[in-house]
Amino acid sequence: MGKQHTVELTTRDGHVLSFECHEQESLLVGAERNGITLPAICRGGSCGACRARCTDGGYRASEHSMAALPNDAVERGEVLLCSTFPRTPLRIVVDQDRAAIQAGPIPERTATVAEVHPVGGGVVRLALTLEPDDHGNAAATFEPGQYMELSPPGQGFTRAYSPINTPNWEGRLEFYIRLQPQGKFSGWLRQARPGAPVRVRGPSGSFKLDETSLGARWFVAGGTGLAPILSMLRWMGELQAMQPVRLYFGVHDQSQLFALEELEELRSQLPGLKLETCLWHPGEPWQGFIGTPAEALARDLDAALAQGAKPSIYVCGPPGLVDAVEQLVNPLGLGAKLHAERFLPS
């Protein structure tokens, strides 16, 4: 993206935040890329909400509304963060307190094990209860699709899992974990009792719903890649989302099937949900789709495109599955509508 410059932001209450900004990105976008989210409304030079003052350095200003930033304000060194592109290192003064800017380290909390419950296929549902943080905040805050890093104290390892439930005020986090014979986390989980402490760092990750998309949403889940997708689907149910929705859920064979009860429950929350369970190598007779969920997707996608529909596609699973879906949708011109997350069993 070309040259970068250091931008130093001073808040109204005197904190200094600095970030690197490319010449081709606005200060607003550069700050956001670095986890500093500043107040902004129109993001296009019209509203004046992101007005700040440049006290040092050179920049290029893109076209903006005179009402949002009149000439006399420009002469005073005022800028619109959404329309200012750095040419040299910059010093910027913003009119917000530090607390109004979303940024900083990823939250870390302590939780306790509430329940470990087998859900079939060698997978367990681990439920944790978050303790209130230093400010007394007890809520479980994340966006459906994001993940949390879990570290049992004193064990020396950390694993990342996506919650299967939705953000809530009880401080409850639920995960699907496939028990691995030699896995460290699996070993810990087998002996974990209710009340056992766990450190939780998160949320992280950008695998999230595009909330503004209006068209159909098709989800492709491989194994416990179902977890973030289940959270997204449950969230859509809570919001009574109106988009047509499909889920292709695949595992190797019958012995690996899990979460069937939860999926059945999901149907009542999302009455329009079309669910297809795919077995790659069914050991016994199987009435459903035989093959990978990517293959089931391929079968339906042609028909959908022929009718003019362009679904958004969300895929989470092993790298092989994600690659297969990417190779399928990119030539069809749906690459921009693909949201993908790979995971490796650990």
Partner 1 sequence: MFCYQCEQTYRNADAAGCASARGACGKDESTADLQDLLIHAVKGIGWYAKRARDLGAPDNAAGGFMINALFTTLTNVNFNPARIAALVHEAAKVRDRVKGAYEQAAESQGKPLETPAEPAAFVPAADIDALIAQAQAAAITRGAESVGEDVIGLRALMLYGLKGVAAYAHHARMLGQESAEVYAGIENALDFLASEPTDVGALLTNALALGDLNLKVMELLDAGNTGTFGTPEPTSVRVTPVAGKAILVSGHDMADLAALLEQTAGTGINVYTHGEMLPAHSYPELKKYPHLVGNYGGAWQDQQRDFSEFPGPVLMTSNCIIEPQPSYRQRIFTTGPVGWPGLRHLENHDFSVLIQAARALPGFSADAPEERITIGFGRDAVLGVADTVIGAVKSGAIRHFFLVGGCDGAAPGRNYYTDFVRQTPKDTVVLTLGCAKYRFNREPLGEIGGIPRLLDMGQCNDSYSAIKVAAALAEAFDCELNDLPLSLVLSWFEQKAAAVLLTLLALGIRNIRLGPSLPAFLTPAVLNALVEAFNIQPITTPEADLAAALPNVAA
List of residues contacting partner 1 (CB under 8 A): 37, 39-49, 51, 63, 65-70, 73, 96-97, 99-102, 132, 135-139, 141, 143, 167, 169-171, 209, 211-212, 214-215, 238-239, 241-243, 308-309
Locate tokens 């107040």: which residue? 39
Q: What is the DSSP letter of 170?
A: S
In the complex, minimum distance from the CB of residue 195 to partner 1, in angstroms, rounded to a whole number:
21
What strands, in cross-sheet order, belong to the sheet with 90-94? 16-22, 4-10, 90-94, 51-56, 78-80
Relative to beta strand 159-161, strand 147-151 is: antiparallel
The DSSP H or E segment spanning 278 is: strand 274-279
Cα separation of 188 and 169, whole Å?
A: 27
Name which of 65 and 110 has its Cβ closer to partner 1. Answer: 65
In the complex, minimum distance from the CB of residue 203 to partner 1, in angstroms, rounded to a whole number:
10
Q: What is the DSSP letter of 83?
A: G
In the complex, minimum distance from the CB of residue 167 to partner 1, in angstroms, rounded to a whole number:
5
**Cα dihedral 328, 333, 337, 343 sign:** positive
Name which of 50 and 266 has its Cβ closer to partner 1. Answer: 50
In the complex, minimum distance from the CB of residue 99 to partner 1, in angstroms, rounded to a whole number:
5
Name which of 105 and 136 has its Cβ closer to partner 1. Answer: 136
In the complex, minimum distance from the CB of residue 276 to partner 1, in angstroms, rounded to a whole number:
23
Name which of 124 and 209 has its Cβ closer to partner 1. Answer: 209
Cα separation of 184 and 158, whole Å?
A: 9
Quickly count: other Cβ atoms within 10 Å of residue 313's Cβ.
25
The DSSP H or E segment spanning 323 is: helix 319-329
Relative to beta strand 123-130, strand 172-178 is: antiparallel
In the complex, minimum distance from the CB of residue 220 to partner 1, in angstroms, rounded to a whole number:
21
In the complex, minimum distance from the CB of residue 61 to partner 1, in angstroms, rounded to a whole number:
14
Name which of 102 and 155 has its Cβ closer to partner 1. Answer: 102
In the complex, minimum distance from the CB of residue 11 to partner 1, in angstroms, rounded to a whole number:
11
Name which of 32 and 341 has its Cβ closer to partner 1. Answer: 32
CA distance from start to end of the chain? 35
Cα separation of 119 and 251, whole Å?
A: 14
Closest by alpha carbon to 234, among 266, 197, 261, 271? 266
Whats the size of the chain, residue-wise?
Answer: 346
Name which of 242 and 344 has its Cβ closer to partner 1. Answer: 242
Name which of 27 and 177 has its Cβ closer to partner 1. Answer: 27
